[in-house]
Amino acid sequence: MSSSLSSFLPMLPVLFLLVLSCMIYSGSAQGPPSPGYYPSSKISPISFNQGFKNLWGPQHQRIDQGSLTIWLDTSTGSGFKSLHSYKSGYFGAAIKLQPGYTAGVITSLYLSNNQDHPGNHDEIDIEFLGTTPDKPYVLQTNVYIRGSGDGNIIGREMRFHLWFDPTQDFHNYAVLWKPSELIFFVDDVPIRRYPRKSEATYPTRPMYVYGSIWDASSWATEGGKYKADYRYQPFVGRYKNFRLQGCTSESSASCHPPSTSSGFGSLSPQQFRAMQWVQTNYMVYNYCHDPRRDHNLIPEC
């Protein structure tokens, strides 16, 4: 064996790892297949004041050049609420998350009727679970039907990593709530579809749209393993390009929410392929596949 070959052989494992890492990076960097239809492009963005008002923590809320910033420190977090309640529609915003240590902190955009039905409310959640610097953010989607805050909540969580760094730029996150289905979107790519299978497993009562940043150290990051560390305060969430289009509580029965796709039905085949790509590559938890759950309580699974 030549001396040059013998000196090259010990390098093979390192070269293999380099090639493999490049393949993984390039595969993930290309992003999901095109969904072919972009609901956010059909709905004009509105300013914060056109659609929302402060709910709590007004001293931790600032509007600057069309962008809303809310933050959490040891004194309080902050939250906002839509001016109207809705019975269906498209609800979204462009959100930019804070880098670094954010464990225990929730940044959210969600629908709820908790104030109208305390102890028996419905909820549709888009929640970013804070993280440690060595791990990616988790995007949690969730649906409650007639749940409460007393331990009787039956969550329907699906969690995802993202194919981009959500701290580097604004990205669009949205939910489309129709009488027949819920669809969650990230940059117009559907990541989850929740169909209406029965009255008992689907939210039908009017809800307001909310956003907030708050301390959920007891559960947010790896089941509460990592807590909010206020040495890194303030924890900041940034929102812009709010999109609210739907049927309010006062709308007539003829009102219909925006379309899911270019057709008249649910997701197109192209949108389904994009959703399957996300769920295959980036879904990290599905409540229907959790053996620890009592599946008698989640019959839709």
Phi-psi bin for 61: left (phi > 0), alpha (psi -120 to 50), beta?
beta
Which residue, chain included where needed, has tokens 């791990």? 135
Beta bridge partners of 184: 175, 192
Contact (CB, 8 A) for 87 and 206: yes
The rounded distance, in Å, linking the Cα atoms of 60 and 63 is: 10
Which residue, chain included where needed, has tokens 């995802």? 160
* 250 carries an active-site annotation: no
The strands making up 189-195's β-sheet, listed across from edge to edge, are 61-64, 67-72, 235-248, 86-97, 171-177, 181-186, 189-195
The rounded distance, in Å, linking the Cα atoms of 218 and 104 is: 7
The rounded distance, in Å, linking the Cα atoms of 22 and 5 is: 24
**Strand spans (E) along the chain:** 52-56, 61-64, 67-72, 78-82, 86-97, 105-112, 121-129, 138-147, 158-160, 171-177, 181-186, 189-195, 208-215, 235-248, 283-286
Bridge-based pairing of strands 78-82 and 52-56 is antiparallel
- Nearest Cα to 113, choosing from 203, 207, 178, 205? 207
Angle at 95 between CA 93 and CA 97, to 5 degrees: 160
Catalytic entry in 127, 157, 222, 300:
127
**Strand spans (E) along 4-72:** 52-56, 61-64, 67-72
Rg (CA), the chain: 21
* 123 carries an active-site annotation: yes
Catalytic entry in 123, 157, 181, 222:
123
Q: Which residues are catalytic?
A: 123, 127
